[in-house]
């Protein structure tokens, strides 16, 4: 008989952040495993609306959107959860529901996805008790796993590391010329060197590393007078104002553009527009944006003190730098600007990324978790 699996989420289709991308990959995994009659999947989303569903990831009958009706979501999740074999929680904010399911149905396996900063904080005693009641915590990187062990005292055998994957429908470009519509939109020339960062540009996430990149831009401009830095991502007013003051301070207004939110359909084109993706973050849980950039043939610079290390395979796929060392970031940027990847090297990078973070490998790990209770098992 197929395993009854309930996947509880906050959002899947109504937002395009990293956690939502992970959720979509899990949804498609459940979809595929349902076609193989290995699982009988159900996905409940607290905040999504029913028409948000993308049919590539889930069938209509597998998906239930609760349109922010929290109490109804909790009640339905509890009733469905105690009749399920496995419950997967997409976020620590769903921990209390998982705890109740374990109380009423101890035989039900309950797993929590641990992405990053949301689980690195100290937890109140009731939440910590609920965390310890879970069967497994699935950490997206070694860094996140270590933080969970050190902060919450979680035993090692309760944690599994499962790196995120490339979305099964991600577009892999085969030609790497800079898209003309974007060159025109941002008033750029094909021969200009372009740096890019992509993250939420908000006052609560200053750890993303664009401050250090801005600070070294004046030095790089002396060597590369046409250099432009694109900072992409939805911003709040406070952070945008702060960045504008930094830009004025460093006198680099002609070399930096705050381009705001990028539609999901245009992300690959923005990677193709750029020469280097630079985001030396200090608190990245994993960094799906890194593997997407590399899958588009883009050189990447990331920080060496967080989950980015997993995304870059310990430096095998990109450059890892000390995010607090501006001179190291500048030196690494200079090296990459001097020796850009050719098309064959970009294709080789794509192949390495796909091998390391393929959806097929990810789906197999989800299957093992559901069927055997661990993704570490080796099947003959």
Q: State both tokens at 84.
A: 């399920």
What are 33-56's pLDDT values in tens digits? 999 999 999 999 999 999 999 999
Lowest mean pLDDT among 96-110, 150-164, 242-256, 335-349: 242-256
CATH no., domain 180-356: 3.40.50.2000
Q: Which H or E run contains 230?
A: strand 228-232
Q: Is the pLDDT of residue 206 over 70?
A: no
Give the pLDDT score at 28: 98
What are 78-101's pLDDT values in tens digits? 999 999 999 999 999 999 999 999
Torsion angle defined by CA atoms of residues 14, 20, 24 and 27, in that order, rounded to the nearest 10 degrees: -90
- What residue ranges do the domains of the chain occupy? 3-165+358-372, 180-356
Give the pLDDT score at 9: 98
Give the pLDDT score at 205: 66
Interior angle at CA 154, CA 149 and CA 158, nearest 5: 110
What mean pLDDT value characterizes the chain? Answer: 94
CATH no., domain 3-165+358-372: 3.40.50.2000
Q: Is the pLDDT of residue 202 over 80?
A: no
What are 181-201's pLDDT values in tens digits? 999 999 999 999 999 999 888
Give the pLDDT score at 17: 86
Share of the chain above pLDDT 90, in %: 85
Give the pLDDT score at 379: 60
Q: State both tokens at 33.
A: 């495993």
Give the pLDDT score at 207: 61
Parallel, antiparallel, or unpaired: how do β-strands 109-114 and 63-65 relate? unpaired
3-165+358-372 shares its CATH topology with 180-356 = yes
């Amino acid at each position: 008989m197929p395993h009854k699996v309930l996947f509880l989420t906050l959002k899947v289709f109504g937002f395009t952040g990293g956690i939502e991308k992970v959720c979509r990959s899990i949804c498609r995994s459940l979809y595929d495993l349902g076609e193989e009659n290995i699982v009988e999947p159900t996905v409940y989303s607290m905040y999504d609306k029913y028409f948000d569903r993308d049919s590539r990831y889930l069938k209509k009958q597998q998906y239930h959107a609760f349109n922010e009706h929290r109490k109804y979501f909790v009640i339905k999740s509890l009733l469905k959860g105690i009749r399920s074999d496995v419950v997967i929680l997409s976020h620590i904010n769903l921990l209390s529901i998982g705890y109740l399911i374990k109380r009423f149905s101890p035989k039900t396996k309950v797993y929590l996805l641990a992405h990053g900063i949301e689980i690195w904080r100290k937890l109140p005693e009731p939440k910590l008790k609920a965390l310890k009641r879970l069967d497994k915590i699935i950490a997206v990187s070694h860094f996140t796993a270590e933080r969970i062990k050190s902060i919450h005292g979680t035993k090692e055998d309760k944690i599994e590391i499962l790196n995120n994957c490339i979305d099964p429908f991600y577009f892999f470009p085969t030609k790497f010329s800079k898209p003309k519509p974007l060159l025109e939109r941002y008033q750029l020339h094909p021969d200009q060197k372009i740096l890019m960062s992509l993250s939420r540009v908000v006052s609560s996430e200053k750890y993303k590393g664009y401050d250090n990149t801005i600070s070294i831009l004046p030095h790089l401009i002396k060597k590369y007078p046409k250099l432009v830095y694109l900072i992409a991502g939805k911003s709040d007013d406070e952070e945008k104002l702060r960045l504008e003051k930094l830009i004025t301070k460093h006198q680099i207004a002609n070399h930096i553009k705050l381009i705001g939110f990028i539609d999901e359909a245009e992300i690959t084109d923005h990677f193709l527009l750029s020469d280097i993706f630079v985001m030396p973050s200090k608190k990245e849980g994993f960094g799906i944006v890194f593997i997407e950039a590399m899958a588009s043939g883009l050189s990447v610079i990331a920080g060496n003190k967080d989950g980015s290390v997993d995304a870059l395979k310990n430096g095998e796929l990109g450059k890892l730098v000390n995010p607090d060392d501006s001179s190291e970031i500048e030196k690494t940027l200079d090296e990459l600007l001097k020796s850009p990847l050719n098309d064959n090297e970009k294709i080789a990078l794509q192949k390495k990324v796909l091998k390391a973070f393929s959806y097929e490998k990810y789906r197999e790990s989800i299957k093992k978790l559901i069927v055997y209770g661990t993704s570490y098992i080796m099947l003959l």
